Amino acid sequence: MIFTIFKKELKDTLRDRRTIIAMIVVPVLVFPILLALSTTVTKYFDDKQKEEVLKIAVVSEATDNQFTQRLSAIPDSLGPKDLIFRQDTVGLKKEISIDSIQLAFIIPASFDQDQDSNLQSTIQVYHKGVNLGNKDRVKDYLAIIENTLLQERFERLNLDKQLIDPIDDQYIDISSKKEVIGKIAGGFLPYLFIIFGFIGCMYPAIDLFTGEKERKTLETLLTTPVPRWKILIGKMMVISLSGIAAAVFALVGMFAGLRLFNIVNIPGLSAVIDGILTPQFILGLLVLLLPLTIFFAGIIIPATIYAKSFKEAQSVLTPVNFIILLPAFVGMLPNIELDYTTAFIPIVNIVLATKEIVAGTIDPILLVISYLVMVAVAAISVLFSYKRFGKESNIIS
């Protein structure tokens, strides 16, 4: 009988446009679209920034000082520039504020003399802070000029560069690429599961409980000789399946976006993704997702039973969605690992376990503890739903 209810509810759910959008369309498309958009937009602005000809005012008594010579010599590959020579700073700030000039270097009259005497020169840079890229370009220019001047000083003084650089630091990373990506993606995947798992459960739950009340079909269903717990379980199976489907579709969308469309161009990423996406990994994630989505269904259903309209159900559940998201933040925090304390904290344990599974560093005992804790919490939530579903005032409008 549970299967009959499950089959009917699944058919009904799959014909609901709103649920299909929440369960399949949004999860599949959201990541490729977001990734494509963010990389395209970033690239567009980067390119624009690099190609933009900066009008730079050089304020100096002499146009042939060492600074100006070196600034002029910087190749256009580091960003095209147009140098404008000025004797004073009159009206300069206004010109920068209206963007007719983007930057200004104020060179002291003693610049050449200071450099020849191995002294420090102060150069003021006028810039408009809201144009973030301009300051970066100034820093690049100054680093090149400073490096050249430094090199010349060493040669002039006949000194070795090691004199001011006593340590040559060399970093050798022994973590595998899989571990690195695992730690990054592992913190992110639980977000994916929680957001889409929850939304994937929410819409069908509202439709299958609040919707049935609103459409006055629940009353008829309750007159049939089917125990209420079987009706509840049949519906709950569809809700959990929908949550799992939404999370899996989001995962598919993300990996498809990264790999097939090559949106994020990281060398060797495809090979790492292939290494992570093994059948064991996918199975492990599905097993972890099961109690999580049952738990979601268990906390969503009472709200949908209580609510008298779709709108009311949605307004009750939206804050719950935010509360549920909090444990996912823990997964992003550094230095919080799955251990004998965190394994007993529901949701947080699943978040951390997912991270470890992706990185390939999961401790099987901790995984089992996390899983059992989550199953227990899911069972409590199911019991809670059952109590609510049995309450007459909740089911009859």
Binding site residues, another protein, CB under 8 A = 1, 4-5, 8, 11-12, 15-16, 215-217, 219-227, 392-393, 396
**Residue closer to another protein, measured from CB, 16 or 152:** 16
CB of 1 to another protein, least distance (A): 7
SS3 string, 129-179, reads CCCHHHHHHHHHHHHHHHHHHHHHHHHHHCCCHHHHCCCCCCCCCCCCHHH
Cα–Cα distance between 18 and 239 in angstroms, integer? 14
Which amino acid does the sequence have at 275?
G
CB of 226 to another protein, least distance (A): 5
Q: Is the dihedral of CA 233, 310, 249, 319 positive or negative?
A: negative
**Residue closer to another protein, measured from CB, 13 or 115:** 13
**Residue closer to another protein, measured from CB, 10 or 320:** 10
Cα–Cα distance between 249 and 25 in angstroms, integer? 8
Residue closest to 212 by CA, chosen among 15, 396, 390, 393? 396
CB of 357 to another protein, least distance (A): 38
Question: Helix, strand, or coil here: 87?
Answer: coil
Q: Break the chain down into helix, strand, coil percent, rounded to 5.
A: 70, 5, 25
DSSP per residue, 242-260:
HHHHHHHHHHHHHHIIIII
CB of 33 to another protein, least distance (A): 28
**Residue closer to another protein, measured from CB, 83 or 222:** 222
**Residue closer to another protein, measured from CB, 1 or 383:** 1
Residue 321 CB partners (closer than 8 Å, separation 6+): 195, 198, 199, 202
CB of 392 to another protein, least distance (A): 6
CB of 335 to another protein, least distance (A): 47
CB of 306 to another protein, least distance (A): 11
**Residue closer to another protein, measured from CB, 11 or 156:** 11
CB of 393 to another protein, least distance (A): 7
Cα–Cα distance between 46 and 346 in angstroms, integer? 43
**Residue closer to another protein, measured from CB, 51 or 219:** 219
**Residue closer to another protein, measured from CB, 278 or 397:** 397
CB of 135 to another protein, least distance (A): 58
SS3 string, 269-286, reads HHHHHHHHCCHHHHHHHH
**Residue closer to another protein, measured from CB, 295 or 306:** 306
Distances in Å between the Cα of 251 and the Cα atoms of 192, 234, 257, 273 are: 7, 26, 10, 12
CB of 271 to another protein, least distance (A): 45
**Residue closer to another protein, measured from CB, 7 or 311:** 7
Specify which residues 106 forms β-bridges with: 59, 124
Q: Are 343 and 349 in contact (CB under 8 A)?
A: yes
Q: Are 245 and 23 in contact (CB under 8 A)?
A: yes
Strand segments, DSSP code E, in 25-170 are 54-59, 81-86, 103-106, 124-127
